[in-house]
Amino acid sequence: MPAPGSQASLREMNRLRVLDTVREHGALTQVEIAGVTGLSAATVSNVVKELDSAGAVILSPSIRNGRRAVRVSLAASTGLIGAVVFGDRDVRVVIGTGGKEIVAQKRMPLPADHAADEGIDRGARLIHELIAHSGHMPSDVRAVGVGLPAPIDTVTGLVGSNGILPGWRGVDVRAVMQEALGTQVLLDNTANLAALGEAKFGALQGVSTGVFIKASYGVGAGLILGGEVFRGSAGTAGEIGHVTIDENGPVCRCGNRGCLDTFVGAQAVLTALRATHGSLTLRDVISRALDGDAGCRRVLEDSGRHVGVAVAGVVNLLNPEVVVLGGQVSRLGEIVLQPMREAIERCAIPSAAATVDVRVGVLDPDVADAVGALALADQVREDADRAALLVGQP
């Protein structure tokens, strides 16, 4: 890196300023770039020349105020990005080129009590198959976002609880996945990733203070503060599933008692229906509730109410504009949203409850976390493109 304040560092800063301006506003003429950045016309002209020879921008002729001008747009990032997202019962791999579009995807079931090496091995094999199948080489993938349905301690890189996802205890998932995939890996929990997906492309777009609730086999939250995913001091913020609802309640897999998860997690839902409905999966319960089965509907309405009680606490603390329900349970729409809203109104302070908009996510709950994992990988690719641009420049 050039010394701060030096001529080289000034040029570097100007290049980044022009790149960021074009990234934010789309194609602009050099006069417009000068207007936005405050740089002189001569500086913009030099910087654009440098960026063009580095292949970072595309120049195209246009007419502005009747005069000929050159429009500057960002060259597309090259290469693919990927995502490997572990659910409680499956692993899903996707590849994309940027944005929310998924180019190809594959899914494979995983046993509930699988060990980390088995999951990592299947995930790596699956994404390599997907890459080969779409006519690419593993080296075409620039970065991969990996999601786990557990709190992840970003300081140690380990799963931040002994009881949640026990097969993954003590494994440095990022390092092992990086080794298995041969590319840069970013790791986050799936509720944060789905929140990021909704923030980039869905119901939390443009929202400054928002809460995303992922209700599937387990329940988790992703917090959006200042428009960004808030991960807390060590990455485990948003663990709403392990907020205590009843201190004398059933013992939770995290070791605590009466966590929200023990009331609304798949285990609780399926147990409540076992005597009357026999052995069902969560997906069965959801589709029967949608078909009007009174028992399945009642259990999921109760889930909505319990989630609402816990969310009311978050509404009091953060005063969010929007609460988005995602995950498989969100397929029920108003059936769970209504009791959730009622609980928020009952338990949160009136002014915060009155202003919060509670709605379901926009992205398909099956892929929302994968879309977020792609967005995370895309950020890394963009940063790498920027860094490459700065290296070896005069």
3-state secondary structure the chain: CCCCCCHHHHHHHHHHHHHHHHHHHCCEEHHHHHHHHCCCHHHHHHHHHHHHHCCCEEEEEEEECCEEEEEEEECCCCCEEEEEEECCCEEEEEEECCCCCCCEEEEEECCCCCCHHHHHHHHHHHHHHHHHHCCCCHHHEEEEEEEECCCEECCCCEECCCCCCHHHCCCCHHHHHHHHHCCEEEEEEHHHHHHHHHHHHCCCCCCCCEEEEEECCCEEEEEEECCEEECCCCCCCCCHHHCECCCCCCECCCCCECEHHHHHCHHHHHHHHHHHHCCCCHHHHHHHHHCCCHHHHHHHHHHHHHHHHHHHHHHHHHCCCEEEEECHHHHHCHHHHHHHHHHHHHHCCHHHHHHCEEEECCCCCCCHHHHHHHHHHHHHHHHHHHHHHHCCCC
CB closer to Zn ion out of 112 and 275: 112
Work out how close the CB of 215 gets to Zn ion at its nearest, in angstroms, rounded to a whole number: 15
Residue 29 or residue 303: which is nearer to Zn ion going by CB?
A: 303
Question: Does residue 203 interact with Zn ion by CB under 5 A?
Answer: no
CA distance 326 to 311: 14
State the nearest-atom distance from the C-beta of 306 to Zn ion, in Å. 13
CA dist., res. 119 & res. 166, Å (int): 13
Query: Nearest distance from residue 256's CB to Zn ion, in Å?
Result: 5
Least spacing, CB of residue 247 vs Zn ion, in Å? 12
Which of 237, 371 has the CB closer to Zn ion?
237
In the numeric block, the tokens 């890459």 are attached to 131
The nearer residue to Zn ion, 114 or 242, going by C-beta atoms, is 242
Size of the site for Zn ion (CB under 5 A): 5
Q: Which is nearer to Zn ion, 254 or 390 (CB)?
A: 254
Contacts to Zn ion from residues 230-289, by CB under 5 A: 242, 252, 254, 256, 259
| Least Å from the CB of residue 320 to Zn ion | 23
Nearer to Zn ion, 210 or 327 (CB): 327
Nearest-approach distance from CB 166 to Zn ion, in angstroms? 13
By C-beta, is 39 or 150 nearer to Zn ion? 150
Residue closer to Zn ion (CB basis): 141 or 219 = 219
Q: How far is the CB of 261 from Zn ion (least distance, A)?
A: 5
Query: Scanning residues 130 to 159, which ones bind Zn ion (CB under 5 A)?
Result: none
- CB nearer to Zn ion: give 173 or 310: 310
CB of 160 to Zn ion, least distance (A): 12
x/- track of binding to Zn ion for residues 26-55 (CB under 5 A): ------------------------------
Q: How far is the CB of 3 from Zn ion (least distance, A)?
A: 51
* Tokens describing residue 191: 């509720």
Q: Tell me which residues touch Zn ion (CB under 5 A).
A: 242, 252, 254, 256, 259
